[in-house]
Amino acid sequence: MKSLISLVVVVISLFLSFFANAGISSLEIYYKLGLKGHVNYNEFADAYIAYRADPKSDIMSVVDNTKPETENRLFIIDMKNQKVLYGMNLPRKKSDSSLELYHKLDLKDKLNYRVFAKAYDSFKSHSKIDILTVIDYTKPSSEKRLFVLDMKIHKLVFNTWVAHGTNSGGKFAENFSNVKSSRQTSLGVFITAETYYGKNGYSLKLDGKTPGVNDKARERYIVIHGADYASKPFLDKYGVLGTSWGCPALPVDLAKNVINTIKGGSVIYAHG
């Protein structure tokens, strides 16, 4: 009888413990555990949601993928006693090859693999966030040749039209330049920077990272912006997009969403 009573007490304690924790927000627990400055909150919140969905024990693990391998990235937490047991280094999984990612992103028949592979190399070297944009200027302006890829969740976020510079060509962009007032498109690797409102509305500044090819992007005012001549109605009417003064102009109805997705340190790889 005593053993049965003890068992009931243990079950009730676990039951109350779980529901006590259930009433506490992930942010409250995050601060209670003293994790600020040690674990990224979003990484903790994701782990906490998964733990709440299937709490098989009082132990929860958190892997902070925003930290380098040289720092503690794996944290083991006693949720019942609200205590971090220990943190430790955790090697990252070997990165997927460009070909594996190409297939995961379902880019076959949309974007040439070799173009993607070059873009992916640039992404690994320069990107601050998990977004990669590829522009394939070997395609005509009548085709959707801009691709915005979420490299973390392996998703094609946007695939749309993009205009090239007036002096780069008509249907195809054939001439490229890094010279001010050339009104030609630049190729190479760009890093997205800050947004602003200008004569073309909401726009995104770019920093060229390929020496001698696009490193005068700021000086040339090469930015991403929306334009009527880069939209489907214009294409339907004329069979090709209009042209810019060198900027990669996007459809007006998509420009803001694309800019907000890629701004702040992502890579744009322009191929031609």
pLDDT confidence tier of residue 47, bands split at 50, 70 and 90: confident
Beta pairing class for 131-136 and 267-271: parallel
In this prediction, residue 54 carries a pLDDT of 76
**Best CA proximity match to 146, nearest among 167, 166, 156, 161:** 161
pTM for the model: 0.66
Alpha helices in 65-184 (DSSP H): 98-104, 113-126
Q: How far apart are CA 60 and CA 78, in angstroms?
A: 7
The mean pLDDT value for 78-99 works out to: 75
* Choice between 269 and 72, residue whose per-residue pLDDT is larger: 269
Which pair of tokens denotes residue 250? Answer: 């996007």
Strands (E), 125-235: 131-136, 146-150, 155-160, 188-198, 201-208, 223-227
Those residues with Cβ within 8 angstroms of residue 150's Cβ, 6 or more apart along the chain or in another chain:
130, 131, 156, 157
**Best CA proximity match to 201, nearest among 269, 161, 254:** 254
Among 46-60, 96-110, 145-159, the least confident range = 46-60
pLDDT in tens, 183-192: 999 999 999 9
Q: Give CA 52 to chain center in angstroms.
A: 27
In this prediction, residue 86 carries a pLDDT of 74
Q: How far apart are CA 130 and CA 153, in angstroms?
A: 9
Q: Kindly report the CA angle at 226 between 221 and 230, in degrees rounded to 5?
A: 110
Q: Within 13 Å of residue 140, how many CA atoms lie on the same side as its CB?
A: 8
In terms of phi and psi (left: phi > 0; alpha: psi -120 to 50; beta: otherwise), the region of 47 is alpha
